[in-house]
């Protein structure tokens, strides 16, 4: 089955393909469609070079996106195929060609994340990958959100036009040095604040006076029960670690998602991060599944 490069004429067809895989209902189709089109347009992706499409008789059967993170020498590869191709030689070939594309751009490592129960881990092992990390999928769906009073001198502020430099700095300060994190540019952050699955009201800063202590970035995703809120990013800047502020940052994000009528709230967390896992469990989140990160070190680096 041929693997071909993305062209602009495939934009709508690719978005429709992804929406058909991700959306459990027609009501959520538009959210999936617009979000994926936003992904294709993000700074630095260049889909004409870094999106590979698997076709059969003119029908899209799979795709691979290569997200390049040059500052840390990494590529993240996202692979999607129709269920009938799971574990097939065509799926393995698609992965191998995506890895070759990353290698040609002098990146040192490729990472792919898959659901633990998807069976794709075996495909990745055949393609030379090794499992290196386990993330937990957690879900909160309680009837009521417990009240939590902010400490004196703290406030929660939503993202405003002009806050991109602040958000970029806070995110980079909070996560630089964490496994797999690549520092973001202001251009990247600004673009992501305008994605269809996010809103400025859903990006929240925890402030002590005029100083940012941390932030929470929420998004919306399709789920079996309709739209689900997700705590996409939550971080504490170094000077505020160990002061118990992470619980208040989490609370701010959850409160926002509840305020817009979302009953379910999900998140992913590194299974090695015991303090974070403990925080989420104490807030009522339950582990629903696992995502496995696989790594392949690229030759010549």
For residue 220, pLDDT over 90 is answered with yes
Strand pairing class (74-81; 59-69): antiparallel
Q: What is the CATH number of the domain that holds 184?
A: 3.40.630.30
Q: What is the pLDDT of residue 299?
A: 86
The first and second tokens of residue 112, run together, are 């792919």
User: Counting beta carbons within 10 angstroms of the beta carbon of residue 161, is it exposed (0 to 12), middle (13 to 18) or buried (19 or more)?
Assistant: exposed
Residue 46 Rama label (left phi>0; alpha psi -120 to 50; beta): left
For residues 226 and 152, state if they share a domain: yes
Q: Are residues 276 and 149 in the same domain?
A: yes
Say yes or no: 214 and 234 in one domain.
Answer: yes
Q: Is it the case that residue 301 has pLDDT exceeding 80? A: no
Q: What is the pLDDT of residue 58?
A: 81
Q: Is the pLDDT of residue 24 over 80?
A: no
pLDDT value of position 169? 98
Structural domains counted in the chain: 2
Looking at the structure, tell me whether residues 266 and 231 fall in a common domain: yes
* Same domain assignment for residues 81 and 211: no
Given this model, what pLDDT does residue 2 score?
Answer: 83
Residues 182 and 84 placed together within one structural domain of the fold: no
Residue 32 sits at φ, ψ, to 5 deg, of: -60, -45
The answer to whether residues 8 and 117 belong to one domain is: yes
- Encoded tokens for 261: 């009528």
User: Residue 238 — very low, low, confident or very high, per pLDDT cuts 50/70/90?
Assistant: very high
Are 155 and 277 members of one domain? yes
pLDDT above 90 covers a percentage of the chain that reads 76
In this prediction, residue 6 carries a pLDDT of 81
Model confidence at 179: pLDDT above 90: yes
Do 125 and 99 share a structural domain? yes
Q: What is the pLDDT averaged over residues 100-113? A: 95
Residue 206 is part of which domain span? 143-283
| Average pLDDT estimate for 146-160 | 95
Above 60 in pLDDT, residue 244? yes
Query: In this structure, are 230 and 120 located in the same domain?
Result: no
pTM across the whole model: 0.92
- Looking at the fold, whether 120 and 210 belong to one and the same domain comes out as no
**Same domain, yes or no: 69 and 147:** no
Write the pLDDT tens digit of every residue in 69-105: 999 999 999 999 998 888 889 999 999 999 999 999 9
- What is the mean predicted confidence (pLDDT) over 49-65? 90
The answer to whether the beta carbons of residues 234 and 202 sit under 8 Å apart is no
Average pLDDT, the chain: 92
Residue that wins the pLDDT comparison between 36 and 183: 183
Q: Is the dihedral of CA 192, 194, 199, 201 positive or negative?
A: positive
Answer whether residue 50 shows pLDDT above 60.
Answer: yes
């Amino acid at each position: 089955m041929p693997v071909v490069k993305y062209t602009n004429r495939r934009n709508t067809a690719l978005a429709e393909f992804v929406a058909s895989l991700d959306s459990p209902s027609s009501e959520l189709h538009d959210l999936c469609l617009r979000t994926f089109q936003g992904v294709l347009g993000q700074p630095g992706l260049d889909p004409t070079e870094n999106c590979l499409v698997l076709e059969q008789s003119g029908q899209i059967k799979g795709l691979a996106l290569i997200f390049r993170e040059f500052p840390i020498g990494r590529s993240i590869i996202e692979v999607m195929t129709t269920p009938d191709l799971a574990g097939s030689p065509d799926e393995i070939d698609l992965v191998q060609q995506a890895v070759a594309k990353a290698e040609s751009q002098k990146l040192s490592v490729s990472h792919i994340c898959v659901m633990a129960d998807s069976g794709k881990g075996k495909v990745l092992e055949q393609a030379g990958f090794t499992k290196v990390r386990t993330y937990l999928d957690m879900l909160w769906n309680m009837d009521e959100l417990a009240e939590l009073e902010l400490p004196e001198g703290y406030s929660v502020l939503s993202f405003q036009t002009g806050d991109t430099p602040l958000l970029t700095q806070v995110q980079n300060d909070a996560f630089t040095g964490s496994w797999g994190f690549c520092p973001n540019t202001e251009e990247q952050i600004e673009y992501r604040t305008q994605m269809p699955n996010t809103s400025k009201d859903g990006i929240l800063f925890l402030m002590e006076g005029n100083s940012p202590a941390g932030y929470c970035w929420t998004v919306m995703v399709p789920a079996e029960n309709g739209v689900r809120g997700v705590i996409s990013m939550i971080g504490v800047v170094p000077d505020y670690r160990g002061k118990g502020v992470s619980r208040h940052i989490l609370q701010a994000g959850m409160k926002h998602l509840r305020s817009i009528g979302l009953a379910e709230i999900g998140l992913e967390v590194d299974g090695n991060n015991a303090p974070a896992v403990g925080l989420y469990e104490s807030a009522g989140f339950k582990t629903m599944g696992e995502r496995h990160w696989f790594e392949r070190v690229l030759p010549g680096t």
